[in-house]
């Protein structure tokens, strides 16, 4: 075993060093070179669709044998049509503006030095994700477009698919100006292989874990590579005393049910006591009609004419259900709603429904989340909706990027300072 | 011992929770409230100068007894005049623009949603630093101005001084709209107390270690709180084949000697072989005249008429001397200089001296450092020089902030999305 582990680690380091080397070659390439490479990848994926489907069938068969749910198997499965869709997404990334080289700020300093802060790639971006092989291509394309090398570590359940997908992408790159090593799969499927990635400080510049809270927590705990946390969403809708009741019901139902399995779906509704009598009967009926189980506090249950509201526990307030469940609580004030969110929320997205300008302003000021919605569904927190064209994830941390991350969030900056012989502490020349 | 450690940890958590609470109160305060608090702090520091000096004398005496160098004792020492200077620096911070609330980007989305990305405070900022008590006040002021609570962990050598300084600041805040708990000293002087700060994920939002490479490495290794690495500077000056020799000598001597003990001082000079014969005799003479010991490779030593160049080892190329020493090496090409920097540099600041536009462009494109100087001294990488008005440190990492960090780098952002009942997946209303 020790020998096997050493071998895996050596193999990882070999791959990571090639990634590092490729990053130096990729970073200064102009947009045209990167876009041509993305089109080559898209074409190659389409051409290799039968081969990809075959590898994917092996993954799917293995998943079936191990009793994986049909829902997960659907996420894992690739067809020729889905591969065409993935290739199209790559072409869409090629069409997006290149963030690299953008001048973020620039001015001439009083001493005549020309100061410019310009966007540069991060370098090598490690991405840890679940069993959706389309992420393998999406993430690689977004990294490549932003001048970054992708070190991909997908779920072991999709290893065969990912191996072929990365192989096809590398072969496509071999005929372009982008180094073939600019897309890398972390070798191996063991838990150790994730650890190698987390300890690769100096070789990997940033790690983006995409997945459940436990994956993300373990990466944050163990990684010496800087991490961008993504995606855990315990989002709340607060219905203010001054809300339009019908609007509030519509927003709540949309936020909860339009797609319950995603991170920007609502998991909690907080109702101002001043509107509880008017709002709760309609809301509970609408949620019931949409098949939602409500986990309510005593005040909510007092309005439960159908007798279907479950008693809420502390765990319900913390829960990211990702299902047709919602926690519900009556609060005395807007500030109490904010305090609830501060205690139980995940800092993803919160919404207020109100007709009061003052209430909206206070909620926006006090709620410390990546996105705050006023009279809109929480479901709008999304790179595509925000007009970013693509999204590598939704950051719930405060450092570097917060909220939906598009291409600019995959860059760093560099100061370029141009003088004419400027010396510190001396009048020029 | 176990009991003592538990007590210290409990005390830490008590302080950190108060900091967290204060962060919620501080974040939404308008500029005027924060500026008034900063002026109250400045006035209180001036008024308490005798008390501060007395506490500082205890630290200085202890440092003397333990054989601390006079250089370090000078950094540790406070006088009434120095305290007046520190108070003035706080007033200067008050005069800077408030980064909080700034709209970073904003537009109306096709569906009519109003999208704005605005600057918000990070929350609680932990700062770990060395034995300069002025940093206690500087860091607190910068954090406060940017709406952040400062959790300060200075050197144990300055603990008496820092305790009094923080006490004076907290007392000053008690009479203002800013919570008194917005400035906190990490309790205790043990190594454990640093660990508490590094493990305070959820209570502390970011850690900024300021100090030597070993401190910063240990924080990066052990911290579960996101870290901004600062300050290690192994900066190189590359003298291109097309350089003006006299200008190159001036820039090199300035970069090395104008203040050798700081992170933006040059530690390495790389000389293109095509200019070595013209440049090295003058450069070696000028460096010798300035009291600099050169650690040169064979090609450099071939020009050493005075016989004073020391043989360079691999360690010299890695060294951040912070003294009147410099590593010197002849390279065959610009790309070889870039490769040297990639291998040995710390990603802080590199300079090229050249009259060639093409060489400057290539160097800027290929060098992956926080700042790249063209025909200017490395010493210009500095928040004050860049016009930021103040600086909390110089980041050498790529995530969040890179290069000199001013007030905007102490902020995160939040998306505020305003609709009129917008529902996902439906035409509006």
A398, A420, A426: best to mutate for the B interface, most B CBs within 10 A = A398
Chain-chain contact of A402 with B413 (C-beta, under 8 angstroms): yes
Chain-chain contact of B28 with A366 (C-beta, under 8 angstroms): yes
Q: Where is average pLDDT lowest: A107-121, A214-228, B138-152, B299-313?
A: A214-228
Please give the Cα distance from A301 to A330 (Å, whole number). Answer: 10
Q: Where is average pLDDT lowest: A5-19, A84-98, B87-101?
A: A5-19
> What is the share, in percent, of chain A residues with pLDDT greater than 70?
99
Question: How do B206-209 and B325-331 pair as beta strands?
Answer: unpaired
Q: Which residue of A has its CA nearest to B374?
A: A418
Q: Look up residue B214 and give its two tokens.
A: 């070993």
Q: Tell me what pLDDT residue A131 has.
A: 85
Nearest CA-CA partner of A210 in A265, A281, A157, A132: A132
B424 CA to chain A: closest CA distance, Å? 6
B220 touches chain A (CB under 8 A): yes
Chain-chain contact of A227 with B226 (C-beta, under 8 angstroms): yes
Chain-chain contact of B371 with A414 (C-beta, under 8 angstroms): yes
B205 touches chain A (CB under 8 A): yes
Q: Tell me what pLDDT residue B5 has.
A: 79
Stretch 229-258 of chain A: residues touching chain B, C-beta under 8 Å: 244, 247, 250-251, 254-255, 258
Assign A269 to helix, strand or coil.
Answer: strand
In CATH terms, the fold of domain A235-380 is Aldehyde Dehydrogenase; Chain A, domain 2 (3.40.309)
Size of interface A-B (CB pairs under 8 A): 213
Please give the Cα distance from B355 to B240 (Å, whole number). Answer: 8
Chain B residues within an 8 Å CB radius of A113: 376, 380, 385
Q: Is the pLDDT of residue A241 over 50?
A: yes
Smallest Cβ–Cβ distance between A418 and the set B254, B365, B374 belongs to: B374
Q: Cβ(B330)–Cβ(B301) under 8 Å?
A: no
Stretch 13-42 of chain B: residues touching chain A, C-beta under 8 Å: 24, 27-28
Q: Is the pLDDT of residue B428 over 70?
A: no
Distance of CA A26 to the CA centre of its chain: 24
Smallest Cβ–Cβ distance between B366 and the set A28, A122, A397 belongs to: A28
Chain-chain contact of B377 with A414 (C-beta, under 8 angstroms): no
Chain A residues within an 8 Å CB radius of B372: 414-417
Q: Which residue of B has its CA nearest to A349?
A: B415
Q: Tell me what pLDDT residue A192 has.
A: 87
Nearest CA-CA partner of A5 in A222, A198, A191, A204: A191
Q: Tell me what pLDDT residue A429 has.
A: 45
B136 CA to chain A: closest CA distance, Å? 23
Q: Where is average pLDDT lowest: A83-97, B202-216, B389-403?
A: B202-216
Please give the Cα distance from A314 to A316 (Å, whole number). Answer: 5
Chain-chain contact of A416 with B228 (C-beta, under 8 angstroms): no
Starting at the edge strand found earlier in the chain, the sheet holding A266-272 runs A310-311, A293-296, A325-331, A266-272, A235-239, A349-353, A371-376, B411-422, B114-121, B103-108
Chain A residues within an 8 Å CB radius of B422: 375-377, 380
B161 CA to chain A: closest CA distance, Å? 31
A209 touches chain B (CB under 8 A): no
Stretch 38-57 of chain B: residues touching chain A, C-beta under 8 Å: none
Q: Is the pLDDT of residue B206 over 70?
A: yes
Q: Tell me what pLDDT residue B427 has.
A: 65
Burial of B178 by CB count in 10 Å (0-12 exposed, 13-18 middle, 19+ buried)?
A: buried
Q: Is the pLDDT of residue A81 over 70?
A: yes
Chain-chain contact of B372 with A417 (C-beta, under 8 angstroms): yes
Q: What's chain A's Rg over C-alpha atoms? A: 25
Chain-chain contact of B24 with A368 (C-beta, under 8 angstroms): yes
Please give the Cα distance from B41 to B89 (Å, whole number). Answer: 11
Q: Which residue of A has its CA nearest to B335?
A: A24
Chain A residues within an 8 Å CB radius of B385: 109, 113, 424
Nearest CA-CA partner of B334 in B376, B249, B272, B251: B272
Per the model's pLDDT, the better-predicted residue between B229 and A114 turns out to be A114
CB atoms within 10 A of CB B335: 12
A426 touches chain B (CB under 8 A): yes
Q: Is the pLDDT of residue B224 over 80?
A: yes
Q: Crossing angle, helix B213-222 and helix B191-198, to 10 degrees?
A: 50
Please give the Cα distance from A194 to A207 (Å, whole number). Answer: 11
Q: Tell me what pLDDT residue A376 has.
A: 98
A64 CA to chain B: closest CA distance, Å? 33
Q: Residue with structure tokens 């797609």?
A: A259
Q: Cβ(B338)–Cβ(B363) under 8 Å?
A: yes
Q: Tell me what pLDDT residue B191 has.
A: 85
B134-171 pLDDT, tens digit per residue, is 999 999 999 999 999 999 999 999 999 999 999 999 99
Q: Tell me what pLDDT residue B429 has.
A: 46
> What is the share, in percent, of chain A residues with pLDDT greater than 90?
89
Chain A residues within an 8 Å CB radius of B251: 421, 423
Chain-chain contact of A250 with B420 (C-beta, under 8 angstroms): no
Asked if CATH classification 3.40.50.720 holds for the domain at A2-229+400-416, the reply, yes or no, is no
Q: Is the pLDDT of residue B95 over 70?
A: yes
- Residue spans of beta strands (DSSP E) within B265-324: 266-272, 293-296, 310-311
A399, A405, A409: best to mutate for the B interface, most B CBs within 10 A = A399
CA angle B47, B53, B59 (to 5 degrees): 145
Q: A86-104 burial, b if ≥16 CB within 10 A, otherwise e?
A: bbebbeebbebebbbeeee
Q: Residue with structure tokens 């290539």?
A: B362
Q: Tell me what pLDDT residue A427 has.
A: 65
ipTM: 0.94
B116-128 pLDDT, tens digit per residue, is 999 999 999 999 9
Boundaries of every domain in chain A: 2-229+400-416, 235-380
Chain-chain contact of A414 with B403 (C-beta, under 8 angstroms): yes
A290 touches chain B (CB under 8 A): no
The residues near B67 (Cβ < 8 Å, ≥ 6 apart) are none
Chain-chain contact of A414 with B123 (C-beta, under 8 angstroms): no
Q: Provide the whole-model pTM.
A: 0.94
Q: Look up residue B421 and give its two tokens.
A: 């009942």
Chain-chain contact of B417 with A227 (C-beta, under 8 angstroms): no
Q: Which residue of A has its CA nearest to B244?
A: A421
Q: Report residue A328: phi and psi, to 5°.
A: -135, 140
Stretch 357-386 of chain B: residues touching chain A, C-beta under 8 Å: 360, 364-366, 368-377, 379-381, 385-386
Q: Which residue of A has its CA nearest to B423?
A: A377
The residues near A229 (Cβ < 8 Å, ≥ 6 apart) are A209, A216, A220, A395, A396, A397
Please give the Cα distance from B225 to B199 (Å, whole number). Answer: 6
> What is the share, in percent, of chain B residues with pLDDT greater than 90?
89
Q: A308-321 burial, b if ≥16 CB within 10 A, otherwise e?
A: ebeebeeebbbbbb
Chain-chain contact of A226 with B227 (C-beta, under 8 angstroms): yes
Q: Is the pLDDT of residue A107 over 60?
A: yes
Q: Look up residue B292 and give its two tokens.
A: 């600099």
B406 CA to chain A: closest CA distance, Å? 14
Question: How do B411-422 and B114-121 pair as beta strands?
Answer: antiparallel
Chain-chain contact of B421 with A247 (C-beta, under 8 angstroms): yes
Assign A282 to helix, strand or coil.
Answer: helix
Q: What is the mean pLDDT of the segment spanning A355-370?
A: 97
Q: Tell me what pLDDT residue A6 has.
A: 85
How high does pLDDT run on average in chain A? 95
Beta bridge partners of A45: none
A389 CA to chain B: closest CA distance, Å? 12
B427 touches chain A (CB under 8 A): no
Chain-chain contact of A422 with B377 (C-beta, under 8 angstroms): yes
Stretch 323-362 of chain A: residues touching chain B, C-beta under 8 Å: 342, 360
A122 CA to chain B: closest CA distance, Å? 6
Please give the Cα distance from A19 to A123 (Å, whole number). Answer: 9
Chain A residues within an 8 Å CB radius of B365: 28
Chain-chain contact of A373 with B417 (C-beta, under 8 angstroms): yes
B301-356 pLDDT, tens digit per residue, is 999 999 999 999 999 999 999 999 999 999 999 999 999 999 999 999 999 999 99
Chain B residues within an 8 Å CB radius of A366: 24, 28
A303-349 pLDDT, tens digit per residue, is 999 999 999 999 999 999 999 999 999 999 999 999 999 999 999 99
Q: Cβ(B149)–Cβ(B22) under 8 Å?
A: yes
Q: Tell me what pLDDT residue B2 has.
A: 62
Q: Is residue B131 very low, low, confident or very high in pLDDT (cuts 50, 70, 90)?
A: confident
Q: Tell me what pLDDT residue B189 has.
A: 87
**CA-to-CA separations, B99 to A366, A414, B146, in angstroms, rounded:** 17, 21, 6
Chain-chain contact of B412 with A402 (C-beta, under 8 angstroms): yes
């Amino acid at each position: 075993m020790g020998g096997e582990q050493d071998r895996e680690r050596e193999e990882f380091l070999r791959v990571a060093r090639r990634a590092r080397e490729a990053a130096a070659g990729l970073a200064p390439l102009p947009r045209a070179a990167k876009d041509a490479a993305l089109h080559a990848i898209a074409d190659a994926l389409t051409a290799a669709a039968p081969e990809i489907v075959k590898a994917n069938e092996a993954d799917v068969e293995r998943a079936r044998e191990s009793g994986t749910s049909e829902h997960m198997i659907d996420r894992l499965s690739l067809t020729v049509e889905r591969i065409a869709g993935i290739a199209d997404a790559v072409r869409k990334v090629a069409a997006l503006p290149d963030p690299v080289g953008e001048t973020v700020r620039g001015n001439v300093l009083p001493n005549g030095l020309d100061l410019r802060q310009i966007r540069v790639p991060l370098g090598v971006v490690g991405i840890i994700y679940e069993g959706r092989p389309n992420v393998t291509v999406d993430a690689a394309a977004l990294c490549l477009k932003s001048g970054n090398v992708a070190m991909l570590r997908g779920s072991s359940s999709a290893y065969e698919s990912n191996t072929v997908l990365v192989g096809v992408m590398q072969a496509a790159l071999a005929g372009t100006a982008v180094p073939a090593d600019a897309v890398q799969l972390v070798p191996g499927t063991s838990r150790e292989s994730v650890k190698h990635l987390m300890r690769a400080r100096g070789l990997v510049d940033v790690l983006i874990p995409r997945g459940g809270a436990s994956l993300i927590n373990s990466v944050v705990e163990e990684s010496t590579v800087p991490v961008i946390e993504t995606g855990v969403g315990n989002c709340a809708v607060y219905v203010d005393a001054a809300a339009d009741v019908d609007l509030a019901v519509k927003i709540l139902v949309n936020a909860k049910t339009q797609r319950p399995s995603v991170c920007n779906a609502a998991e909690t509704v907080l109702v101002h006591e001043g509107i509880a009598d008017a709002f709760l009967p309609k809301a509970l009926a609408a949620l019931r009609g949409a098949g939602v189980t409500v986990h309510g506090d005593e005040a909510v249950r007092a309005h439960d004419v159908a007798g279907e509201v479950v008693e809420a526990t502390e765990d319900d307030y913390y829960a990211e259900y990702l299902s047709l469940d919602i926690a519900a609580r009556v609060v005395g004030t807007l500030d109490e709603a904010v305090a609830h969110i501060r205690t139980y929320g995940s800092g993803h997205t919160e919404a207020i429904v109100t007709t009061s300008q003052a209430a909206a302003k206070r909620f926006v000021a006090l709620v410390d989340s990546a996105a705050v919605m006023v009279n809109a569904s929480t479901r709008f927190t999304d790179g595509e909706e925000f007009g970013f064209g693509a999204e590598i994830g939704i950051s719930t941390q405060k450092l570097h990027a917060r909220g939906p991350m598009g291409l600019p969030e995959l860059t760093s900056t560099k100061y370029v300072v141009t003088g004419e012989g400027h010396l510190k502490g001396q009048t020029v020349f």
